[in-house]
């Protein structure tokens, strides 16, 4: 060692000694840690698998008492009457009509805002807008439901001059507010991910910024935008508190958007407290939960597929 003075310890010797000590200790430690991490990873996955198994296996019990055709096809949901009926059609229709209304509102607004935020707004405005939209996604649904009761339902009642403001339409507006942040942030990501070359190529050909956005960027980001809409739909179907609080909760098949409905989610939240463990009503609510689980899983899987296919084809 050229510059080893007398006061400098021989590091190589120290390291060598430590090497020998470390060899056994650390190799064992490493194996143990790897095992622990593996166990943790598996635990989380087991929990997640358990959710599927538990819901479905509990829910299936409903068919010991209720026929498949009654559960899925009949239109009477009277679980607590003397002669109980477990037809889920009104609940499914209720969920679908609120979701449909919410999608009708949130998709055009969501995609439009995403384009504005990612392409039109100046950078500082963009940051502020993004924070506002993320804030909207953080607002608890019960707070939205509260505002739905004290503000929105009154507006709906007055504007459309109907007897009650607790309607599917009121629910759809609130649910659209919950789906919007999902749609906006994912569409925004998709538009931002379009390679800069596309933009430059179009602008260099003399197209305006708007023409570039409309004819190049939006088509190029289409798979991401479709996925955003799908995930927004998933969010809307699963929304519970806001719809429970403002849709009036009548388990009926509505003829317009301006009547009361009851969604699948609201049914579970409202009725679970009245059930007895392991009675038919209890099982029926688990079966509805399983249906929700399947619906959102299918929607999410399709969204994931659309995104990965889009990536493969470079769209």
Partner 1 sequence: MSKKFKEKLAFAVLALITMCVVIPALFILLYIIYNGIGTISWEFIFASPRKGMTEGGIFPAIVGTMSLILGTITFALPLGVGTAIYLVEYAKKNLLTKFISLAILNLAGVPSVVYGLFGLGLFVLLLGFGSSILSGALTLSCLILPIIIKSSEAAIRSVPDLYREASLALGATKWQTIYKVVLPTAMPGIITGAILGIGRAAGETAAVLLTVAAFFLPRLPSSIMDQVMVLSYHLYIISSQVPGMPDAVKNGTALVLLGVVAIFFFTATFVRIKYKLANRG
Partner 2 sequence: MTKVSVTRLNLHYEEFHALKDVSLDIKDKEVTALIGPSGCGKSTFLRTINRMNDLIDNVKIEGEIKLEDQDIYKKEVDVAQLRRRVGMVFQKPNPFPKSIYENVAYGPRRYGIKAKTHLNEIVERSLKKAAIWDEVKDRLHKPALSLSGGQQQRLCIARALAMEPEVLLMDEPTASLDPIATARIEELINELKKEYAIIIVTHSMQQAARISDKTAFFLMGEIVEKGKTKEIFTVPKDKRTEGYITGRFG
Residues that bind partner 2 (CB under 8 A): 1-3, 8-9, 11-12, 14-15, 18-19, 21-23, 26-27
Contact of residue 43 among partner 2, partner 1, none (CB under 5-8 Å per partner type): partner 1
Helices (H), 80-167: 89-115, 123-138, 141-147, 153-159
Residues 23-62 contacting partner 1, CB under 8 A:
26, 29-30, 33-34, 36-38, 40-41, 43-45, 47-51, 54-55, 58
Interface size with partner 1, residues (CB under 8 A): 86
In angstroms, the CA 99 to CA 96 distance is 5
Tokens of 129: 């807008």
Q: How far is the CB of 133 from partner 2 (least distance, A)?
A: 30
3-state DSSP assignment of residue 249? coil
CB distance 166 to 255 below 8 Å:
no
- The nearer residue to partner 1, 93 or 291, going by C-beta atoms, is 291
3-state DSSP assignment of residue 160? coil
Contact of residue 286 among partner 1, partner 2, none (CB under 5-8 Å per partner type): partner 1
Residue 85 has φ and ψ, to the nearest 5°, of -125, 135
Among 268, 281, 284, 306, binds partner 1 (CB under 8 A): 268
Select the span of 64-72, 85-93, 155-163, 208-216 touching partner 1 (CB under 8 A).
Answer: 208-216
In angstroms, the CA 178 to CA 277 distance is 32
- The nearer residue to partner 1, 17 or 209, going by C-beta atoms, is 209
Identify which of 228, 283, 286, 292 has the alpha carbon closest to the alpha carbon of residue 264: 292
Answer yes or no whether residue 91 interacts with partner 1 by CB under 8 A: no
Number of H helices, E strands in the chain: 14, 2
Identify which of 241, 238, 247 has the alpha carbon closest to the alpha carbon of residue 170: 247
Answer yes or no whether residue 226 interacts with partner 1 by CB under 8 A: no
CB distance 262 to 168 below 8 Å:
no
- The nearer residue to partner 1, 232 or 254, going by C-beta atoms, is 232
Q: How far is the CB of 226 from partner 1 (least distance, A)?
A: 15
In angstroms, the CA 31 to CA 22 distance is 14
Contact of residue 1 among partner 2, partner 1, none (CB under 5-8 Å per partner type): partner 2
CB distance 248 to 164 below 8 Å:
yes
Among 142, 193, 201, 205, binds partner 1 (CB under 8 A): 142
Answer yes or no whether residue 89 interacts with partner 1 by CB under 8 A: no
Q: How far is the CB of 41 from partner 2 (least distance, A)?
A: 18
Contact of residue 12 among partner 2, partner 1, none (CB under 5-8 Å per partner type): partner 2
Answer yes or no whether residue 252 interacts with partner 1 by CB under 8 A: no
- The nearer residue to partner 1, 10 or 301, going by C-beta atoms, is 301
Residue 314 has φ and ψ, to the nearest 5°, of 70, 30
């Amino acid at each position: 060692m050229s510059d080893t003075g007398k006061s400098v310890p021989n590091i190589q010797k120290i390291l060598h000694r430590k090497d020998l000590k470390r060899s056994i200790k650390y190799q064992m430690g490493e194996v143990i840690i790897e095992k622990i991490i593996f166990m943790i990873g598996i635990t989380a996955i087991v929990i997640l698998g358990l959710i599927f198994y538990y819901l479905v296996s509990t829910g299936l019990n409903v068919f010991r008492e209720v026929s498949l055709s009654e559960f899925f096809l009949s239109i009477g949901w009277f679980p607590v009457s003397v002669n109980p009926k477990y037809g889920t059609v009104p609940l499914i229709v209720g969920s679908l009509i609120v979701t449909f209304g919410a999608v009708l509102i949130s998709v055009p607004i969501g995609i439009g805002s995403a384009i504005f935020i990612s392409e039109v707004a100046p950078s500082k405005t963009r940051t502020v807008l993004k924070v506002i939209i993320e804030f909207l996604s953080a607002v608890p649904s019960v707070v939205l439901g509260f505002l739905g009761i004290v503000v929105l339902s009154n507006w709906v009642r007055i504007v459309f001059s109907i007897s009650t403001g607790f309607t599917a339409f009121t629910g759809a507006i609130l649910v659209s507010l919950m789906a919007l942040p999902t749609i906006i942030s994912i569409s925004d990501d998709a538009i931002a991910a379009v390679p800069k070359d596309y933009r430059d190529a179009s602008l260099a050909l003399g197209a305006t910024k708007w023409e570039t956005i409309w004819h190049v960027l939006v088509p190029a980001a289409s798979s991401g935008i479709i996925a955003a809409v799908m995930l927004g739909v998933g969010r809307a179907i699963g929304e519970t508190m806001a719809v429970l609080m403002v849709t009036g909760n009548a388990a009926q098949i509505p003829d317009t958007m301006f009547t009361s409905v009851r969604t699948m989610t609201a049914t579970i939240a409202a009725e679970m407290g009245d059930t007895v463990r392991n009675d038919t009503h209890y099982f029926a609510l688990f079966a509805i939960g399983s249906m929700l689980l399947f619906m959102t899983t299918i929607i999410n899987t399709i969204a994931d597929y659309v995104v990965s296919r889009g990536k493969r084809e470079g769209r």
